[in-house]
Amino acid sequence: MFRLVATISAIAAAVSAHGDHQEPIKAGPHNNLWYNTLPGDGGTQADSVFSGISTFGRIAYSPCLATEDVKYDIAFIGAPFDTGTSYRPGARFGPSGIRQGSRRLNLYGGYNVPLGANPFNSWATVIDCGDIPVTSYDNAWAIHQIEEGHNSILMREPMTNASAPGPSKKGKTLPRVITLGGDHTITLPLLRSMNRAYGPITVIHFDSHLDTWRPKVFGGAPTHQASINHGTYFWHASQEGLLKNDTNIHAGIRTTLSGLSDYENDGYCGFQIVEAREIDTIGTEGIIKKIRDRVGTEQPVYLSIDIDTLDPAFAPATGTPETGGWSTRELRTIIRGLEGIKLVAADIVEVAPAYDTNAELTTMAAADTLYEVMTLMVMNGPLSEMSKKGVDAKEEI
């Protein structure tokens, strides 16, 4: 009995001691729980990293599509759509899976050692806007919903330097948007939205597949709607003039083809190809150089990442896995090599958590990859300042 009392006293003393160092929680449903007065577990004051509702990296949630009152510099938004998939469905659960996989990102504060910056503690206001409501019964309507939802978030005044000129078509500074897919079809409505803001845009595309297939080749196009899917969306984007001519590049490609004409068609769509196996000869540095040489640092760039860029050993939970891919370490290194490129928006797609390991390999890889992307965006400063920064970065190479 004495030992029990002594233990309780010790706990009470420890809680009291911690309480001396910690601001009391002022609001929230858990504010009366003594253990939430304990300091420093990396989460919000009301929750630890392993409790509470998931947002990307445990950043603040705001239902941006329901209100225009909230301001941000970088917004995460989910597009839970997977009815354009040719093989394994399930990417509609990608946004919630990636958020779950991202919980521990800022447990120790979130400082990115190789890039020397902290995307969770910077000039930028970063929030999670939740998901765009997407119907699973009508692809045409879903694609329309994704374009309009994305555009609503993209076209607002950012928190920082809202009145300064920026790189949009109208010369404005806009916030950046990172979209959590969703199968890769979503990139078509996202590029339509980007086109309304920036005009034709340069794309860096990480994938094991080309995704420029002509609809007759991929899926057979029995109807117009069937012609728009996760293997053809870049063909449509090219036809619609959404891609800036001959400045786009794929990296990580290793798919089988209907024939070499697929590569010719890819060139017509405005892409250069970096094969996954090139890493064996030119390494990550060689791949980074090819991408940088292709897109430069002067123009706005859209970044689209299919998680199947990674080998299925590292990311098994995806729609169309291809062996022979890069490791998570290699992809993260290559993405960090894009420092100084004007990333104005990004997506990560084809994360289908139902096929993941119990250890959350794929959702964790997606979250960590986006951590590199958001760090690059923060390092570039507000879009109003990107021109100067971009030139500086180019000179350093």
| Numbered residues of the known binding site | 184, 207, 209, 211, 306, 308
Query: Residue 86 or residue 96: which is nearer to Mn ion going by CB?
Result: 86
- Decide whether 37 or 85 has the Cβ nearer to Mn ion: 85
Interface map 188-227 toward Mn ion (x if CB under 5 A): -------------------x-x------------------
CA 139/CA 243 separation, integer angstroms: 22
Nearer to Mn ion, 88 or 290 (CB): 88
Which amino acid is present at 235?
W
* Residue placing its CB nearer to Mn ion in the complex, 209 or 332: 209
Binding map of Mn ion across residues 304-343, x = CB under 5 A, - = no contact? --x-x-----------------------------------
- Determine the Cα–Cα distance for residues 169 and 387; give it in Å rounded to an integer: 15
The least CB distance from residue 380 to Mn ion, in Å, is 27
CB of 209 to Mn ion, least distance (A): 4
Coil, strand, or helix at residue 274? strand
Q: Quote the least distance from Cβ 231 to Mn ion, whole Å.
A: 8
- We find the least distance from the C-beta atom of residue 274 to Mn ion, in angstroms, to be 14
Angle (CA) 320 130 66, round 5° = 135
Tell how strand 300-306 and strand 271-275 pair up.
unpaired
Burial bucket for residue 323 (CB in 10 Å: 0-12, 13-18, 19+): exposed
Residue 263 has phi, psi (to 5 degrees) of -70, -40
Q: How far is CA 251 from CA 104, 147, 204, 292, 314, in A?
A: 28, 25, 8, 12, 17
Q: How far is the CB of 230 from Mn ion (least distance, A)?
A: 7
Calculate helix-pair angle for 94-101, 361-379, nearest 10 degrees.
80
- Determine contact, residues 376/115, Cβ cutoff 8 Å: yes
Report in angstroms how near the CB of residue 306 gets to Mn ion at its nearest.
Answer: 4
Q: What are residue 365's DSSP bridge partners?
A: none
Between residues 88 and 196, which has the closer beta carbon with respect to Mn ion?
Answer: 88
Binding residues for Mn ion, how many (CB under 5 A)?
4
Closer to Mn ion by Cβ: residue 97 or 340: 97
Q: Which residues are annotated as a binding site for Mn(2+)?
A: 184, 207, 209, 211, 306, 308
- Write out the residues near Mn ion by the rule CB under 5 A: 207, 209, 306, 308
